[in-house]
C-alpha cells in the first residue's frame, strides 16, 4: 500500500491538493461514462457508421479534456506530455465530428497507429505513477494489452476493418473506464489522508 506524505506538502499546496482531490468522484463518473460508451459502441452494426464516427469523436474529445486537466495539474515533463496528447486527441475529436463517415474509414485505416499512441501514453503514465498509485499496474496491463491490439490491428488479421474498429473502440473505452474508476479510489485515498 502506497503512503502519501501529506505532512511534507507546504500549506498552500496542501490546501490545493485537498480541494482537487475532493473531486475524486469525477473520475468515478468519467469511468462509468467510458464503460457505457464501450457498451454502446460494441452494440452497433455496419449500418451505423456515422453514429459510431460521432461517438468516437466524442470519446477523443473526452480523452483530450482529461489530458488537458492532467497538464494543468502536473508540472515539468509530465505537463508537456499530457498537453501534447491532449492536443492530439482534441484534433482527432474535431476531425471525427466534422466528417464522421470519412473519419470512420480513416480511423479504420490507421487504427494500429492510433492504438500504439494510446498504449504508449498509458504505459508511460503507469510507470510515472508507480510510486504514488497502488493500482499503477492496472494502467500498465491495459497499456500492454492495447500495444498487443495495436500490432494485431496493423497486421490486419481481420478482413472487415469496420467491425474491427467497432470492437477495438469499445475495448479502448472499456480500458479507459476501468483505469478512471481505479484512479478515483486512489485520489479518494489521498483526499482522506489529507482530511
Q: Is the pLDDT of residue 162 over 90?
A: no
Q: Read off the pLDDT of each residue in 106-123 and give the average, rounded to a whole number.
A: 82
* Contact in structure between 60 and 34 (CB atoms under 8 Å): no
pLDDT digits (tens, 9 = 90+) for 2-53: 555 556 666 667 777 777 778 888 889 989 988 988 887 777 665 556 777 7
The per-residue pLDDT for 44 is: 67
CB atoms within 10 A of CB 149: 22
Residue found under cell 474535431: 94
Q: Is the pLDDT of residue 91 over 90?
A: yes
The residue among 191 and 52 whose pLDDT is bigger is 191
What is the model's pTM? 0.59
Q: Is the pLDDT of residue 101 over 70?
A: yes
The per-residue pLDDT for 49 is: 66
Of 1-10, 140-149, 186-195, the poorest mean pLDDT is in 1-10
Amino acid at each position: 500500500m502506497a503512503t502519501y506524505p501529506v505532512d511534507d506538502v507546504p500549506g498552500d499546496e496542501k490546501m490545493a491538493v485537498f480541494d482537487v482531490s475532493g473531486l475524486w468522484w469525477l473520475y468515478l463518473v468519467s469511468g462509468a461514462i467510458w464503460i457505457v460508451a464501450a457498451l454502446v459502441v460494441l452494440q452497433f452494426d455496419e449500418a451505423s457508421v456515422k453514429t459510431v464516427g460521432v461517438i468516437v469523436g466524442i470519446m477523443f474529445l473526452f480523452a483530450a479534456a482529461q489530458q488537458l486537466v492532467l497538464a494543468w495539474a502536473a508540472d515539468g515533463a509530465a505537463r508537456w506530455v499530457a498537453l501534447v496528447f491532449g492536443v492530439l486527441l482534441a484534433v482527432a475529436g474535431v476531425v471525427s465530428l466534422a466528417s464522421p463517415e470519412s473519419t470512420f474509414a480513416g480511423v479504420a485505416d490507421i487504427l494500429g497507429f492510433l492504438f500504439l499512441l494510446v498504449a504508449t501514453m498509458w504505459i508511460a503514465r503507469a510507470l510515472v505513477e508507480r510510486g504514488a498509485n497502488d493500482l499503477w499496474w492496472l494502467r500498465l496491463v491495459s497499456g500492454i494489452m492495447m500495444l498487443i491490439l495495436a500490432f494485431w490491428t496493423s497486421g490486419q488479421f481481420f478482413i472487415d476493418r469496420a467491425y474491427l474498429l467497432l470492437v477495438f473502440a469499445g475495448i479502448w473505452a472499456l480500458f479507459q473506464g476501468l483505469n478512471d474508476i481505479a484512479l478515483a479510489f486512489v485520489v479518494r485515498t489521498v483526499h482522506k489522508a489529507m482530511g
